[in-house]
Amino acid sequence: MKKITLFLVFIGMMALQSCEVTEVYDDAPRNEVFEVTTSFNSNNNYSSLVTFDPPIYSTDSVLVYHLYDTVNGQDVWKLMPQTYYFSDGGELDFNFDYSRFNVNIFLSANFSLTTVPSSWTQNQTFRIVVVPDGFAATVNKNNIDSVLSALRVNQGEIKKIDL
């Protein structure tokens, strides 16, 4: 009987024990917002790479907003990816992809990017928002003010990045 009990205890211990790997980066950015102004051209392949130093958590998400316009002193930010349509049928896409280490902001179009007016390629400003896992599902991502408010980030905490 002792052997059966010991065997059952051993099986119970094995069943209840789990192995979990959790990434811990004490100095990784959380709930951070970066602002970068960059220009796109054929020399940089119409893209701009922004590096996270230190890397973000693998469970974090990244939202990127394009400063589309300023109306009555108020900035108009558009959540990317964003497609802009021209009267001649052209479509210009502002898009991005990201990893734990960087975010790549890039342009693509259904026409030659060399013909894109400089007002769309030069001195474009973006806000990169790092958000924790699950956060993006709980807030209106289309409104950057709602996102910043939910993250409790004020304008003074936005980090400017020079490329």
Is 2 a member of any domain? no
Distance CA 39, CA 121 (A): 6
Which residue range(s) make up the domain with 43?
A: 25-161
pTM: 0.78
Classify residue 94: in a domain, yes or no.
yes
Overall average pLDDT of the 45-60 stretch: 93
Is there a domain that residue 5 lies in? Answer: no
User: What's the number of domains the chain is made of?
Assistant: 1
- CA 114 vs. chain centroid, Å, equals 27
pLDDT, position 159: 85
Is residue 4 assigned to a domain? no
Q: Is 14 helix (H, G, I), strand (E, B) or coil?
A: helix
Whether residue 45 is contained in a domain is answered as: yes
Would the pLDDT of 16 be above 60? no
> 3-state SS of the chain: helix, strand, coil percent to 5?
25, 35, 40
Q: Is residue 133 domain-resident? A: yes
pLDDT at 47: 97
pLDDT value for 38? 97
Residues 6+ apart with CB under 8 A from 151: 31, 33, 129, 131, 135
Question: Are 55 and 49 within 8 A, CB to CB?
Answer: no
Identify the weakest region by mean pLDDT among 21-25, 26-30, 103-107, 117-121: 21-25
Is 19 among the domain residues? no
